[in-house]
């Protein structure tokens, strides 16, 4: 059973699927993403695979009508796994070569381009969960892609605020944020095309964002050099987070593009990382105030934490052959 259920209080679709209960948890003797597995075969460098436990499908049946007040809809869409390397034992994206990470970025672009032509897809969410604390069920390096038939709530809020700012001030909100951050103490790293920084308004203790310097809405607008620079800065971001406490940092990474249908000149491609640790062995939990109101408390001073991230960035920049400079 797959279906979408509408929450009229928040204006939000909830994806409901019985099949997700069957997902395996860290199998010890078998990896479905390694070369030679049934799903993967041999001779590949990066793969886009169907998620066997998908909550969305282009073949999703029409749900039985609830009747009355509540709304349901078909769970139309696509859930895919992005297998980032054939090497099972790599811990994170900073351990990929620049060439391999560039292939991952090119896969993101290719998938976005293909789905942009699909009439059923309104939004593409490319994301990555890392670490047992996040609930990652398979340890082989991988990300995920959800092709949605609707624009998710958080993306709609960002779009609304960006549109409002554009109408009021005649400028891109994200370009203005980048301009402000480049003046301050929270920039961590930059190369020719992108900037890595902790935002003024960070929610998580070591939250970092990646903004392109050029005003683009979709990954498919990036040229070859910008793709390499994006690969470079993603490697630096993950390496920095992992060097911060000399241990693997659990995190969620989300890529925010404009919706696939329509024109959004006021919007700006960006990537956000939400690291889970506030200290080496202390998790920052989203608890009462955060879960109940979506209003975060920040434990510390962002500028001081940004300096710790810069120190971590300097540790790893030479090791991974960074193309830009730690600030």
Which residues are known to be catalytic? 142
Q: What is the C-alpha separation between 317 and 313, in angstroms, rounded? A: 6
CA distances from 270 to 84, 101, 184, 283 (A): 20, 17, 19, 25
| Phi/psi at 168 (5° precision) | -80, -40
Separation between Cα atoms, residue 257 and residue 113, nearest integer Å: 12
CA distances from 63 to 2, 123, 227, 292 (A): 8, 22, 41, 30
Three-state DSSP state, 94: helix
* 3-state SS assignment for residue 317: helix
Quote the Cα angle for 260-264-265, to 5°.
140
Torsions phi, psi for 96 (to 5 deg): -75, 150
Closest to 1 in 3D by CA, of 67, 72, 70:
72
User: What is the 8-class DSSP label of residue 38?
Assistant: T
DSSP 220: G
Contact present, 268 and 162 (Cβ < 8 Å):
yes
CA 141 to chain centre: 14
The answer to whether 201 touches 161, Cβ cutoff 8 Å, is no
């Amino acid at each position: 059973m797959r279906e979408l259920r509408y929450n009229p209080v928040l204006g939000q679709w909830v994806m409901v699927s019985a099949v997700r209960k069957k997902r395996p948890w860290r199998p010890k003797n078998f990896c479905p993403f390694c070369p030679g597995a049934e799903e993967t075969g041999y001779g590949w460098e990066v793969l886009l695979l169907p998620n066997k436990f998908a909550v969305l499908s282009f073949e999703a049946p029409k749900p039985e009508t609830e009747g009355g007040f509540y709304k349901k809809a078909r769970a139309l869409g696509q859930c895919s796994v992005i297998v980032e390397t054939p090497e099972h034992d790599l811990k994170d994206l900073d351990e990929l070569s620049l060439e391999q990470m560039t292939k991952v970025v090119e896969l993101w672009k290719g998938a976005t381009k293909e789905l942009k032509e699909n009439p059923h897809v309104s939004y593409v969410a490319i994301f990555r969960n890392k670490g047992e604390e996040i609930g990652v069920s398979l340890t082989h390096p991988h990300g995920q892609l959800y092709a949605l038939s609707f624009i998710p709530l958080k993306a709609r809020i960002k779009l609304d605020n960006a549109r409002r700012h554009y109408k009021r001030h005649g400028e891109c909100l994200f370009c203005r944020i980048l301009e402000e951050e480049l003046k301050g103490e929270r920039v961590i790293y930059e190369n020719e095309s992108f900037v890595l920084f902790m935002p003024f308004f960070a929610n998580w203790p070591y939250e970092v964002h990646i903004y392109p310097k050029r005003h683009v809405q979709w990954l498919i607008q990036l040229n070859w050099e910008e793709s390499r620079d994006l690969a470079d800065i993603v490697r630096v971001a993950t390496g920095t987070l992992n060097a911060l406490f000399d241990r693997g940092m659990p995190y969620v990474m989300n890529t925010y593009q404009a919706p696939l249908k329509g024109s959004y000149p006021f919007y700006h491609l960006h990537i956000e990382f939400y690291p889970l640790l506030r200290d080496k062995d202390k998790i920052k939990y989203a608890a009462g105030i955060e879960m109940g109101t979506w209003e975060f408390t920040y434990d510390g001073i962002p500028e001081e934490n940004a300096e710790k991230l810069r120190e971590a960035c300097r540790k790893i920049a030479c090791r991974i052959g960074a193309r830009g400079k730690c600030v």
